[in-house]
C-alpha cells in the first residue's frame, strides 16, 4: 500500500484554452495551453483572448506562475497584453516571468509594457535557448529547437521523480513520525536493533513527462524529447492532402505528428493548432490513428489529467 497522498499530489491537469491555427474560428481560439500542477498554472503560448478562455473554462488566472512562448508570431503572443492588464486589475502583486526565444524579448516587452500605468507588478521577459528553462522541486521545464519559419522552441515538462513510502512495509519496520525524514536523509536507520534501508520500504516514482511542440515541421529534436512521454502535444495544421503546403509553411500534418509519437514510443498524442479550413476534424483524426492509435484531436476546453 502506497501512502494516500501519492495519487492526489501528483495530478497534473492540462487544459487546451485555444486550439486554432493562425486564425481563430467560431469554435477555436488562438493557441494557448494551461498546465496546472500543485496549485500553479504554467501557461504555454498566449493567443488573443486567452484571458477570456480562462473564464470560459473555469481556470483561475491568478494561479499563473509563468508563461512560456514557443515563438513570437502574433497568434501565439498577442494575448499577453490583455492578460497582464487583467491580472493587474485583479490586484496581482507577484512577479510574472515570461520566457521567449532569445532575440525576441523586445517584441514581448512591447506587449507587456506599452501601458505601464496600469501594471502594478513586475513583468520579467527572459530569453531562452536550448536546455533547462525553469527548475524547481516539482518540475523541470526545458526547451528544444523546432523547425518553423522563425526561431521556435518546443517545451519538455518533466515532473520530478519522488521517493514514495510503502505504508505497510514502513509500519512493519517500525518507521513512524520524524523517522521518515531521517531515513530519507541517511538512507539507512537502526530500528529495533535492525538496519532498515530506504529501498526496503519505498520505491522511486518516475515523474511524468509532457511535450509541447508547435509550430513546426517534424523534428528529430521533438522525437528525442518525447521518448517515452506520457503525453505528446503536437501541432497538426493540415492533413497529408496538403503536405506540400505544410512543408512550405513549415507546419506538420496529422500523419507526421503521429509518426513522431510512434517513433518516440509516447503513450498518448493530442493534436491541436488546427487550420480553420477543417470544420470537422475526422479526417485529421483518422489519418493520425492509422499511424498511432492512441490519438485525440483537442477542441477548446479539452482537459486531460495525468
Just list the catalytic residues: 75
Gap between the Cα atoms of 271 and 253, Å rounded: 10
Residues contacting 164, CB < 8 A, separation 6+: 2, 3, 6, 202, 203, 204, 205
Gap between the Cα atoms of 40 and 63, Å rounded: 5
For residue 225, which of 162, 136, 125, 140 has the smallest C-alpha distance? 140
For residue 224, which of 142, 292, 285 has the smallest C-alpha distance? 142
Gap between the Cα atoms of 117 and 113, Å rounded: 9
Dihedral sign, CA of 249, 101, 38, 184? positive
Gap between the Cα atoms of 131 and 134, Å rounded: 9
3-state DSSP helix/strand/coil percent for the chain, to nearest 5? 30, 30, 40
- Cell reading at 213: 511542440
Dihedral sign, CA of 49, 150, 304, 25? positive
Quick one: DSSP state of residue 116?
A: G
* Collapsed DSSP state (helix, strand, coil) of residue 198: helix
Q: What is the dihedral of CA 84, 144, 303, 253, to 10 degrees?
A: 110
DSSP letter string, 47-92:
-TTHHHHHHHTT--GGGEEEEE-S---HHHHTHHHHHHHHHHHTT-
Amino acid at each position: 500500500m502506497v501512502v494516500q497522498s501519492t495519487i492526489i499530489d501528483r495530478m497534473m491537469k492540462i487544459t487546451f484554452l485555444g486550439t486554432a491555427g493562425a486564425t481563430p474560428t467560431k469554435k477555436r481560439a488562438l493557441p494557448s495551453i494551461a498546465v496546472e500542477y500543485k496549485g500553479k498554472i504554467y501557461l504555454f503560448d498566449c493567443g488573443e483572448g486567452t484571458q477570456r478562455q480562462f473564464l470560459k473554462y473555469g481556470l483561475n488566472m491568478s494561479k499563473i506562475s509563468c508563461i512560456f512562448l514557443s515563438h513570437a508570431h502574433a497568434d501565439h503572443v498577442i494575448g499577453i497584453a490583455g492578460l497582464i492588464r487583467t491580472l493587474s486589475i485583479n490586484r496581482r502583486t507577484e512577479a510574472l516571468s515570461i520566457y521567449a526565444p532569445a532575440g525576441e524579448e523586445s517584441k514581448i516587452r512591447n506587449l507587456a509594457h506599452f501601458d505601464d500605468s496600469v501594471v502594478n507588478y513586475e513583468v520579467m521577459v527572459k530569453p531562452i535557448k536550448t536546455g533547462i528553462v525553469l527548475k524547481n522541486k516539482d518540475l523541470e521545464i526545458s526547451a528544444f529547437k523546432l523547425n518553423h519559419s522563425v526561431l521556435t522552441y518546443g517545451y519538455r515538462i518533466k515532473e520530478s521523480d519522488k521517493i514514495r513510502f510503502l505504508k505497510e512495509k514502513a509500519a512493519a519496520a517500525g518507521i513512524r513520525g520524524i523517522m521518515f525524514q531521517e531515513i530519507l536523509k541517511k538512507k539507512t536507520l537502526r530500528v529495533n536493533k535492525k538496519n532498515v534501508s530506504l529501498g526496503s520500504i519505498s520505491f522511486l516514482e518516475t515523474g511524468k513527462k509532457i511535450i509541447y511542440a508547435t509550430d513546426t515541421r517534424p523534428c528529430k529534436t521533438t522525437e528525442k524529447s518525447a521518448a517515452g512521454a506520457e503525453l505528446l502535444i503536437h501541432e497538426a495544421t493540415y492533413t497529408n492532402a496538403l503536405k506540400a503546403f505544410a512543408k512550405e509553411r513549415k507546419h506538420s500534418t496529422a500523419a507526421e505528428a503521429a509518426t513522431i509519437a510512434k517513433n518516440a514510443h509516447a503513450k498518448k498524442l493530442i493534436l491541436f493548432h488546427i487550420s480553420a479550413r477543417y470544420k470537422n476534424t475526422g479526417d485529421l483524426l483518422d489519418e493520425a490513428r492509422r499511424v498511432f492509435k492512441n490519438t485525440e484531436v483537442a477542441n477548446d476546453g479539452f482537459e486531460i489529467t495525468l
